[in-house]
Amino acid sequence: MRNQKLSSICRQFGIFLPPSVTDFTNPEFKHDIGLAMDAQPGLITVGNNGIPAYLTNIIDPEVIRILTTPNAAAEIYGEAQKGSWTDKTITFVVAESTGEVASYGDYSENGSSGVNVNFPQRQSYFYQIMSQYGDKEVEMAGLAKINYVSEIDIAAALLLNKYQNDTYFYGVAGLQNYGALNDPALPASISPITKVATGTAWDNATALEIFNDIIKLFTNLVTRVKGIQVDRSTPMTLVMPPSREALLTKTNEYNVNVSDLLAKNFPNLKIKTAIQLTTQSGELMQMFVDKVEGKQTGFCAFPEKLRSHGFVRGSSSTRQKKSQGTWGMIWRYPGFVSSMLGI
C-alpha cells in the first residue's frame, strides 16, 4: 500500500530517483517515505555562512628585523687582525731618537746619537655566546616560513659584534685593553667656548660659535704636535654624536652653514658620527690626524673575528658556542688626537 502511495506521489509531483541513487539504498528502504520524518525542525550546528579567518591569511616570507645602532668604530678608525686566539698579550715597539750634535773639529769626537725603546703592551679579551634550539621549535617556526636556525645565528653574530664595537670605544675594564675614548695615553679633553646664550652646549649656539669650537679643537691639536705634518689641508677625521652633527646645518647671517665653512677651510676633513660619543659627562667631539708618516694614527684590533665551535647534540636539541676576541683600540700616535667635552 505504501509503495503504491509513493508511486502515486512521484507521478503527481514529477519526482524521479534514478538507479544511481536508489542502487545505494537497501531494497526495504527505497520506497519508505517514513525515513524522511526523522529530520529535526532546527539546525544542530551553529548558523554560519563563512570560513575560518586564518584560511584567508598569508605570511610574508620576508623577515623584518629590528634595527640597532650601527657598529661605527671599525668604519671610523679602521680595523686589523693582530695575532690569533691563543695570544694573550701583544707588545708594540716604540722607538724614540735621541742624541746631540757638536761643533765640528778635525780631531773632535763630540756628538752622539741613540735610540730609546719602549715596549707597551695590550691584553686580549675573549668572550662567547651560546646558540641553542630545539627540534620541535625549529619545525614550528618553519610553519611560519622562518629559518629559525639562521635567525639564531644572525642574532649571535650581531651580539658579538655589538660587544666588540663597544670595546673599540671603551676597552675592557680591569685589563690593559683600552678604547678610542679612554686610552690613558690620550691628551685630556678641552672645554668648548662659553656661548652668548650661556653654557657650552651647541643646542642654543650660533653657527659661528659652533665653528669656533671646532677651530679651537684644531688649534689645540696643532699646538700640541708643534705643526708636525698637520695643517688645514691634512687628512683628518672629526667624530661627534649624531645629535651634534645635525647642528652643523645651522647657518650664519650670510646663509652659510657650519658644514660649508668646514668644507672651505678644511678640504680633507671627514665628519663621522657615533652614538658612543654621548657620554655620562656630556657630548664629546674628537679630532684626529688620519696618518702620521704614512701609518694610521690608530686602529681597532682583534685576535679573532669569529670562531664557531663544535655542535653539541642533545636528545632533541642542538647547542653551539661562538666566540670572538678584541685588543680594543690601538693608538699609535695618541698625541695626534684632540677631544672636546661639553658640546
The reply to whether 308 falls in a domain is: yes
Tell me if 179 sits within 8 A of 170, measured CB to CB: yes
Q: Is residue 99 situated within a structural domain?
A: no
Q: 10 lies in which domain range?
A: 1-36
Same domain, yes or no, for 192 and 274?
A: yes
Task: Answer whether residue 98 is part of any domain.
Answer: no
List of E strands, the chain:
79-81, 89-91, 94-100, 112-118, 121-123, 125-134, 236-240, 269-273, 278-279, 282-289, 291-292, 295-296, 298-302, 307-313, 317-326, 328-331, 337-341
Regarding whether 81 and 2 lie in a shared domain, the answer is no
Q: Are residues 24 and 159 in the same domain?
A: no
The verdict on 6 and 131 lying in the same domain is no
Looking at residue 242, the DSSP 8-state letter turns out to be H
Residues contacting 327, CB < 8 A, separation 6+: 82, 90, 122, 123, 124, 177, 301, 302, 303
Cell numbers of 224, please?
A: 700640541
Q: Classify residue 56: in a domain, yes or no.
A: no
Residue 159 shares a structural domain with residue 32: no
Q: How many H-runs (helices) and E-runs (strands) does the chain carry? A: 8, 17
Same domain as 24, residue 80:
no
Q: Grid coordinates in use for 319?
A: 647547542
Q: Are residues 145 and 30 in the same domain?
A: no
Residue 62 lies in a domain: no
In a domain, 130, yes or no: yes
- The tens place of each residue's pLDDT in the chain, 343 residues long, gives 556 666 676 667 766 666 666 666 666 666 555 555 555 566 777 878 788 888 888 888 888 888 888 899 999 999 999 999 999 999 999 998 999 999 999 999 999 999 999 999 999 999 999 999 999 999 999 998 899 999 999 999 999 999 999 999 999 999 999 999 999 999 999 999 999 998 999 999 999 999 999 999 999 999 999 878 799 999 999 999 999 999 999 999 999 999 999 999 999 999 999 999 999 999 999 999 999 989 999 999 999 999 999 999 999 999 999 999 999 999 999 999 999 999 9
- Listed in sequence order, the residues at least 6 apart from 170 whose beta carbon sits closer than 8 Å to its beta carbon are 179, 181, 182, 276
Same domain, 18 and 79: no
Domain count, the chain: 2
Measuring CA to CA, which residue among 192, 268, 206 is closest to residue 237? Answer: 268
Q: Are 206 and 160 members of one domain?
A: yes
| Residue 3 and residue 82 in one domain | no
Same domain? 134 vs 9: no
Place of cell 635567525: 151
pTM: 0.82
CATH number of the domain encompassing residue 326: 3.30.2320.10
> Do 154 and 300 belong to one domain?
yes
Q: Residue 11: what pLDDT?
A: 66
Residue 115 domain flag: no
For residue 213, being part of any structural domain is answered with yes
